[in-house]
Structure 1
């Protein structure tokens, strides 16, 4: 039996994801039950950026409430997963061997880009984690390189998750249930086709080639996790779209699997 795991891109949406009755919440709950159980999870989140890639070495990271103005129940939720310190050391080594300058910290807590999907997929918090940051302002090639450096770990029953958002313009949101605006649909349709055709070089140049890229991502951080997991994919393997939904008009909740 193969122990190879996938790499997943998950659109995590608002911090209310674990408590809302939504298609994405139900999808993630089911996904955790259907995927082969990993021995550990490497997770990169749009909400942890740093000057250089950082690997968290906090043995028992706290749950971070990196948001405001949401229902008070969210501030009582905890995701008490531990860090796999041996795997974290392997992650540091592999990233450094790829030519990247890497740092470590023992002070990082789980941000909501990490714990909201994990709480639905693995509610017992009994799968150890390794948290890796995204280097702020890095090139698309750098994020892809990070995934390439880590992809061999998939063969050792390690699941890689990139948590971000397929589209993410919080200044253009509409009431829930609103129609998807043409500028968001155009970007998502272009990206769907590029992924389904495995046009990696086009996706790495998404800011130049995708229609209305800056309308959908005024900043890059929610798209960059997709580039990491694309780098973690096996050569010539076409990604598969696992889920699609739209919230507040223009916020895509698309999730993709890379094998």
Structure 2
């Protein structure tokens, strides 16, 4: 019976959703443990319908005095993590704590971290791209070639993966030069090819067509010159 009563009491207390990002990163917000715990208790009070708990009520749930709670609240307001808003219910003015500034700070951090991660990924991808080109060409890229690579990415908005695919087509066709690769990318853009899979299928299609017509071309010429798989520059 006592166990059933304990479970009933526990369930009646309910649950409060706590953003994990706050628990993981509160030091990066320059919050210490006392400040973070006080914010969590404020969140709990607000969720339970008490939007303006007193320092004494907060102190009863913590190991610090009411005076310390009041001091922390003032600091949190000054630092922009907490605000006090005024509302009117039936003509009676009421004050409420708002954690909106805290949630906004968390969201801003998430967005900043995502942008930073994306930027780092982009820079790493571009670095890898330059390395791959230098490996295929067997030499360092010239300033003009580096500028062309940057133009494909920044101005033409080509993905690094699609540029790698164009490089592969140039290698297969034995036409390893930037003008040829640029023409491949131009043709793909004109044909609305935007994925590596589409580019691969297009390359295979052209090579199959060329392979089929190759015997006829060899009959028409007495030369033994090797016929490229597909000459994008002639398109």
Q: TM-score, normalised by structure 2?
A: 0.22
Q: Judging by fraction of residues, say which structure has more strand.
A: 1
Which structure's CA Rg is the greater one? 2
Q: Judging by fraction of residues, say which structure has more helix.
A: 2
Relative contact order (C-alpha < 8 Å, sep 6+): which is higher? 1
